[in-house]
């Protein structure tokens, strides 16, 4: 197994690659190994997938920092690949909470970590601008040269502000020391290009693509996107397939639910995973 500093260097180099890379988000050991088998070079956790698998809501601190990082450690241990933590707001409102999450992610062996401007409070979902920037600034000081820090704004995702505010925050996060910038679900490719241009030369993460429709990977790469993550999409795709199969079982057709990967194949995949 590679050390945390080695995984960090590998992960950093992927962001420097001309066309960038795709980073899927598994949620357990088997899904992580399927991602590795498909040839992906780095993986990310998904706060939503972890929460849903535990029957908890996402983005409300219903999943603890410790539980999230244990999931990330499992994914890393199963694959040996760099893992980026989708660590929400840093599991607390203060800059000190963000710093604690950075330090804990390093100790857990992660190659990357994220700090959002969310609050875990649905009544006031986004931190004020100055607070958001200070939290990223303190996290960046702790992360510098040790783990790749993503500064993320969810103002578009939460519907509380437009692209201009998202760009303003991402530029400020870049100036505060974030290594990667991320605003989930811009509405179209023009918005993605505007984000890439505003924070250049810092790399930008896009989850799946713009909200007005999926586009080919090559189009995102041509727009300058360096990292394409999949977020909760692999998990929700798997759940959709399960729902469809179970509906057919309920109607009397056992075929679809019996056509999955055989347990013996999964057993062979996981047999060499080191124990915690």
Tell me the mean pLDDT in the region 236-260: 95
Q: Does residue 275 carry a pLDDT above 80?
A: no
pLDDT tier, 105 (very low <50, low <70, confident <90, very high otherwise): very high
The 3-class SS string of 42-67 reads CEECCHHHHHHHCCCCCCCCCCCHHH
Tell me the mean pLDDT in the region 239-251: 96
pLDDT reported for residue 1: 86
Alpha-carbon span 172 to 225, nearest angstrom: 19
Q: How far, in Å, are 15, 28, 169, 175, 190 from residue 156 at the CA level?
A: 24, 29, 11, 20, 15
pLDDT reported for residue 247: 97
Residue 64: partners with Cβ closer than 8 Å, 6 or more residues away: 91
Alpha-carbon span 98 to 104, nearest angstrom: 10
pLDDT tier, 211 (very low <50, low <70, confident <90, very high otherwise): very high
Q: Does residue 270 carry a pLDDT above 90?
A: no
C-alpha torsion angle, residues 13, 16, 22, 23 (rounded to 10): 50
19-42 residue pLDDT tens: 999 999 999 999 999 999 999 999
Phi-psi group of 82: left, alpha or beta (phi > 0 → left; psi -120 to 50 → alpha; rest → beta): beta
Alpha-carbon span 154 to 183, nearest angstrom: 6
Q: Does residue 103 carry a pLDDT above 90?
A: yes
The residue ranges of DSSP E strands in 28-137, in sequence order, are 43-44, 83-85, 112-116
pLDDT reported for residue 232: 97
Instruction: Decide if 136 contacts 173 (C-beta within 8 A).
Output: yes
The predicted model scores a pTM of 0.96
pLDDT reported for residue 273: 85
Q: Does residue 157 carry a pLDDT above 90?
A: yes
pLDDT reported for residue 18: 93
Tell me the mean pLDDT in the region 256-261: 90
Instruction: Decide if 258 contacts 22 (C-beta within 8 A).
Output: no
Alpha-carbon span 259 to 229, nearest angstrom: 28
Q: Does residue 276 carry a pLDDT above 80?
A: no
Q: Does residue 114 carry a pLDDT above 90?
A: yes
* Chain mean pLDDT for the chain: 96
Tell me the mean pLDDT in the region 165-171: 98
pLDDT reported for residue 120: 95
Number of residues assigned to the chain: 276
State the burial class of residue 218 (Cβ atoms within 10 Å of its Cβ: 0-12, 13-18, 19+). Answer: exposed
Instruction: Decide if 57 contacts 37 (C-beta within 8 A).
Output: no
51-101 residue pLDDT tens: 999 999 999 999 999 999 999 999 999 999 999 999 999 999 999 999 999
HSE (side-chain half, CA atoms, 13 Å) at 168: 11
Instruction: Decide if 41 contacts 246 (C-beta within 8 A).
Output: no
pLDDT reported for residue 242: 96
pLDDT reported for residue 11: 98
1-25 residue pLDDT tens: 899 999 999 999 999 999 999 999 9
List, in order of start, the domains of the chain with CATH numbers: 4-234 (3.20.20.60)
Instruction: Decide if 7 contacts 111 (C-beta within 8 A).
Output: yes
First to last CA, the chain: 12
Helix (H, G, I), strand (E, B) or coil at 134: helix
170-208 residue pLDDT tens: 999 999 999 999 999 999 999 999 999 999 999 999 999
pLDDT reported for residue 272: 80
């Amino acid at each position: 197994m590679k050390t945390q500093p080695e995984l960090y260097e590998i992960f950093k180099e992927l962001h420097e690659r001309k066309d960038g890379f795709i980073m899927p988000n598994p949620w357990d050991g088997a899904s992580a190994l399927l991602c590795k088998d498909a040839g992906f070079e780095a993986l990310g956790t998904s706060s939503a997938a972890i929460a849903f698998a535990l029957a908890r809501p996402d983005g409300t601190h219903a999943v603890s920092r410790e539980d999230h990082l244990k999931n990330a450690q499992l994914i890393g241990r199963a694959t040996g690949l760099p893992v980026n933590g989708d660590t929400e707001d840093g599991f607390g409102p203060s800059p000190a909470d963000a710093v604690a999450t950075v330090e804990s992610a390093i100790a857990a062996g992660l190659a990357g970590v994220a700090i959002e401007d969310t609050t875990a409070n649905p009544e006031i979902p986004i931190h004020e601008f100055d607070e958001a920037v200070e939290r990223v600034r303190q996290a960046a000081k702790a992360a510098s040269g040790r783990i790749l820090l993503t500064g993320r704004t969810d103002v578009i995702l939460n519907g509380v502000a437009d692209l201009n505010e998202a760009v303003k925050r991402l530029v400020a996060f870049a100036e505060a020391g974030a290594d990667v910038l991320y605003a989930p679900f811009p509405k179209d490719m023009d918005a993605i290009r505007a984000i890439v241009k505003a924070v250049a030369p810092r790399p930008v993460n896009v989850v799946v693509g713009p909200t007005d429709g999926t586009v080919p990977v090559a189009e995102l790469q041509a727009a300058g996107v360096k990292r394409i993550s999949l977020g909760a999409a692999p998990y929700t795709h798997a759940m959709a397939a399960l729902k469809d199969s179970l509906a057919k079982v309920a109607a009397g057709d056992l075929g679809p639910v019996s056509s999955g990967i055989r347990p013996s194949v999964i057993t062979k995949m996981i047999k060499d995973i080191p124990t915690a």
